[in-house]
């Protein structure tokens, strides 16, 4: 066996040693998802859109950050997706909105309303505007910390 002081043997051995154990993360993230909710919304800029509701598909993904410990099997111990469902349903009863961008922005604010929410993605689509397409719409993303949105924080 070579002497560790000879010709970089020590350096090679350091590379081969397993790294020291890492300290467990204090926080972890997971996504809440409401996908393909279809509701009747009062939305549109054209006169014929202002006299009726339109079918709109809403998909929301919210990344929440929570302490890194096992989940407790109790609804009060998690961020429930129920606030997303109730919020979207409330928007189906809200006054007329002209632009999908405005609806998406309001939904983004809803998504980020719990203090645990750190990032959100909102997709809204009108389903009856272009017969050749399943839908036309917009996608907005946002983060509680705007810097996080540009440093690799993402949702599926």
pLDDT in tens, 10-61: 555 555 666 555 556 899 999 999 999 999 999 999 999 999 999 999 999 9
DSSP code, position 135 = -
Sorted by where each begins, the domain ranges of the chain are 27-149
Contact between residue 112 and residue 65 where contact means Cβ atoms under 8 Å apart: no
Helix (H, G, I), strand (E, B) or coil at 58: strand
**pTM, full prediction:** 0.79
**What digits encode the pLDDT tens for the residues 90-147?**
999 999 999 999 999 999 999 999 999 999 999 999 999 999 999 999 999 999 886 6
Q: Which residue has the higher pLDDT, 22 or 84?
A: 84
Residues 27-149, CATH architecture: 2-Layer Sandwich (3.30)
Closest CA to 59 of 84, 94, 83: 84
């Amino acid at each position: 066996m070579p002497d560790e002081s000879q010709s970089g043997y020590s350096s090679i051995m350091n590379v081969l040693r397993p790294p020291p154990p890492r300290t467990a993360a204090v926080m972890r993230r997971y996504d809440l998802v409401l996908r393909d909710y279809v509701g009747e919304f009062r939305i549109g800029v054209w006169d014929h859109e202002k006299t009726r509701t339109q079918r709109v598909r809403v998909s929301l993904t919210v990344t929440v950050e929570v302490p890194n410990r096992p989940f407790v099997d109790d609804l009060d111990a998690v961020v429930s997706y129920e606030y997303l469902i109730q919020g979207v349903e409330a928007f189906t009863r809200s006054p007329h909105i002209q632009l999908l961008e405005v609806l998406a922005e309001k939904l983004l604010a809803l998504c980020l309303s719990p203090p645990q929410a750190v990032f959100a993605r909102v997709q809204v689509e009108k389903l009856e505007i272009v017969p050749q397409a399943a839908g036309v719409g917009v996608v907005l993303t946002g983060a509680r910390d705007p810097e996080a949105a540009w440093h690799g924080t993402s949702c599926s």
